[in-house]
Amino acid sequence: MRFWYRLGYSTAEALFHGFFHYRVYHRERLRLVENTGALLASNHVSMFDPPLIGIAFDYEVHYLARKTLFDHPVTGFFYPRFNALPIDQERPEMGSLKRIIRIVKAGEKVVVFPEGQRSPDGTILPGEPGVGLMIAKSRVPVVPFRIFGAYEALPRGKKYPRRSRISVVVGEPLKFTEEELATKSREGYRALAQRVMDEVARLEIPPEP
């Protein structure tokens, strides 16, 4: 890991392990995509979500961030060093989407949130077509993740976190048919994203032995 990424990674690890009893279930499934590019698709309930997925890996991954954040002097300095990629949530640009697709095709991992926004109440929202387009064009594995406890720790609209147990459950990489990937319609892309969110919704914390 490069210096700034390692600094952010180590800080997040200390925070989440120290205050939120962070735990990853089925981490061994990540080995299935160790040597290939992949989209890492998760539910989205908190500002904590991107690093919660990132520290499940022992190497660098990439993230998406709101384009306007890159204009701020502080976040504009750190976000590129944390492998954040700017994206316009209101009007996704083909240039940004092509860059993301190019990165995963080159063997990298990118964290994506198919819902397109943080859930206001912690429930899982429908998938939006943007991530479906990435899936169809990149044709890389999609690994579903489900985050538990982050909504209780720092929900949308709150400035200060609360103590909570945070867990991340890793799913099996998804496989799509040629017919699914051949879509060129907005509804077809939405269906791909929704299939991912359906898999995310099925993930549960396994019972303790």
- pLDDT at res. 132: 95
Residues 172 and 34: their CA atoms lie apart, in Å, by: 13
> What's the mean per-residue pLDDT of the chain?
93
Task: Say whether domain 3-202 belongs to CATH 3.10.50.40.
Answer: no
| Predicted pLDDT at 69 | 84
What's the pLDDT tens digit per position in 143-194?
A: 999 999 999 999 998 989 999 999 999 999 998 999 999 999 999 999 999 9
- Residue 43 contacts residue 114 (beta carbons within 8 Å): no
Neighbours of 1 (CB within 10 A): 12
Residue 195 has pLDDT above 90, yes or no: yes
Q: What's the predicted TM-score (pTM) here?
A: 0.93
Q: Are 24 and 167 in contact (CB under 8 A)?
A: yes
Percent of the chain predicted with pLDDT > 90:
83
63-101 pLDDT, tens digit each: 998 888 888 888 889 999 999 998 876 666 677 888 899
| Structure confidence at residue 143 (pLDDT) | 98
